Chain A
Amino acid sequence: MNAAPVAHGNVTRRSLTILGLDRRLVPLAGTLALFVAMIIFGAMSYKAFLAPQVFLNLVIDNAFLLIVAVGMTFVILTGGIDLSVGSLLALTTMVVAALIEKAHWNPWLVMLLVLAGGTAFGAVQGFLVHRYRLQPFIVTLAGMFVARGLCYLIDTESIPVSNPLLQQLAYARIPLGGRVAISSGAIIAIVTVAVATWLAHATRFGRTVYAIGGSAKSAALMGLPVGGTLVRVYAFSGFCAALAGLVMTVYMLSGYSLHAVGLELDAIAAVVIGGTLLTGGVGYVAGTVVGVLILGIIQTLVIFNGTLSSWWTRIVVGILLFVFCVSQKLIEKRASRASAPSSEKSK
Chain B
Amino acid sequence: MATGDRRPVLEARGIVHAYSGKPALDGVDFCLRAGEVHALMGQNGAGKSTLIKVLTGVEPLQTGSIILDGAAIRPASTLDAQQSGISTVYQEVNLCPNLSVAENIFAGRQPRKPWARGGGIDWKQLNARALELLARLDVDIDVRRELGGYSVALQQMVAIARAIDISAKVLILDEPTSSLDSGEVAQLFQALRKLRDRGTAILFVTHFLDQVYEICERITVLRNGKLVGEYPASELDHAALVSAMVGRAVSNDFTPAARVAAESSQTPAVLSARGVQRQGGVSRVNLEIRPGEILGFAGLLGSGRTEVARLLCGLDSPDDGEIRLKGVAVTMHEPAAAIAQGVSFCPEERKTEGIVDQLSIRDNIVLSLQARLGLWRKLSPQHRREITDRLAKQLDVRAASLDMPIGELSGGNQQKCLIARALAIEPCLVVLDEPTRGIDVAGKQEIMSLLIKLAAEGMAVVFISAEVEELLRVSSRIVVMRDREQVGELPGGCSEDQVYALIAAPAASAPAGNAA
**Per-residue 0/1 for B95-117: is the Cβ within 8 Å of any A Cβ (1 yes, 0 no)?**
11111000100011010100000
Instruction: Say how far A15's CB is from chain B's closest CB, in angstroms.
Output: 5
Does A158 sit at the interface, judged by CB under 8 A?
A: no
* Given known contacts A222-B107, A342-B155, A215 and B97 CB-to-CB distance under 8 angstroms: yes
Query: Is the pair B149, A338 in contact by a Cβ cutoff of 8 Å?
Result: yes
6 contacts between A and B (CB under 8 A): A1-B193, A8-B140, A203-B120, A204-B108, A218-B95, A224-B108
Does A164 sit at the interface, judged by CB under 8 A?
A: no
Query: Is the pair A340, B79 in contact by a Cβ cutoff of 8 Å?
Result: no
Does A198 sit at the interface, judged by CB under 8 A?
A: yes
Does B138 sit at the interface, judged by CB under 8 A?
A: yes
Nearest opposing residue in chain A for B135, CB measure = A5
Contacts of B139 in A (CB 8 A): 5-7
Instruction: Say how far A178's CB is from chain B's closest CB, in angstroms.
Output: 31
Nearest opposing residue in chain A for B166, CB measure = A223
Does A343 sit at the interface, judged by CB under 8 A?
A: yes
Query: Is the pair B94, A218 in contact by a Cβ cutoff of 8 Å?
Result: yes
* Given known contacts A6-B138, A6-B190, A340-B179, A221 and B107 CB-to-CB distance under 8 angstroms: no
Contacts of B187 in A (CB 8 A): 6-7
Does A86 sit at the interface, judged by CB under 8 A?
A: no
Query: Is the pair B99, A223 in contact by a Cβ cutoff of 8 Å?
Result: no
Question: How many A-B residue pairs lie within 8 Å, measured between CB atoms?
Answer: 138
* Given known contacts A204-B110, A340-B151, A340-B179, A12 and B96 CB-to-CB distance under 8 angstroms: no
Q: Which of A16-24, A54-62, A149-157, A252-260 contacts B (4 or more CB under 8 A)?
A: A16-24
| Contacts of A146-204 to chain B: CB distance below 8 A | 198, 201-204
B98's partner among A3, A24, A201, A208 (CB-CB below 8 A) is A24
A-B residue pairs, 6 tightest by C-beta: A202-B120, A214-B96, A5-B140, A214-B98, A281-B98, A343-B97
* Given known contacts A3-B138, A8-B141, A24-B146, A340 and B107 CB-to-CB distance under 8 angstroms: no
**Per-residue 0/1 for A231-268: is the Cβ within 8 Å of any B Cβ (1 yes, 0 no)?**
00000000000000000000000000000000000000
Size of the chain B interface, CB-CB below 8 angstroms: 41
Contacts of B154 in A (CB 8 A): 7, 12
CA separation between A207 and B98, bound complex, in Å? 11
Does B142 sit at the interface, judged by CB under 8 A?
A: yes
| Contacts of B136-191 to chain A: CB distance below 8 A | 138-142, 145-146, 148-152, 154-155, 157, 162, 179, 187, 190
CA separation between A157 and B303, bound complex, in Å? 72
Contacts of B145 in A (CB 8 A): 15, 22
| Contacts of B68-120 to chain A: CB distance below 8 A | 78-79, 82, 92-99, 103, 107-108, 110, 112, 118, 120
A213's partner among B98, B107, B157, B179 (CB-CB below 8 A) is B98
Interface centre among B82, B94, B150, B194 (most CB of A within 10 A): B150
Query: Is the pair B99, A211 in contact by a Cβ cutoff of 8 Å?
Result: yes
* Given known contacts A207-B107, A222-B107, A12 and B98 CB-to-CB distance under 8 angstroms: no
CA separation between A222 and B118, bound complex, in Å? 26
Does B379 sit at the interface, judged by CB under 8 A?
A: no
Query: Is the pair A15, B149 in contact by a Cβ cutoff of 8 Å?
Result: yes
Query: Is the pair B78, A223 in contact by a Cβ cutoff of 8 Å?
Result: yes
Instruction: Say how far A110's CB is from chain B's closest CB, in angstroms.
Output: 31
Query: Is the pair B107, A17 in contact by a Cβ cutoff of 8 Å?
Result: no
Query: Is the pair B79, A223 in contact by a Cβ cutoff of 8 Å?
Result: yes
Instruction: Say how far B86's CB is from chain A's closest CB, in angstroms.
Output: 13
Query: Is the pair B95, A12 in contact by a Cβ cutoff of 8 Å?
Result: no
**Per-residue 0/1 for A331-347: is the Cβ within 8 Å of any B Cβ (1 yes, 0 no)?**
00001001111110000
Nearest opposing residue in chain B for A216, CB measure = B96
Query: Is the pair B108, A341 in contact by a Cβ cutoff of 8 Å?
Result: no
* Given known contacts A7-B187, A338-B149, A341-B92, A202 and B97 CB-to-CB distance under 8 angstroms: no
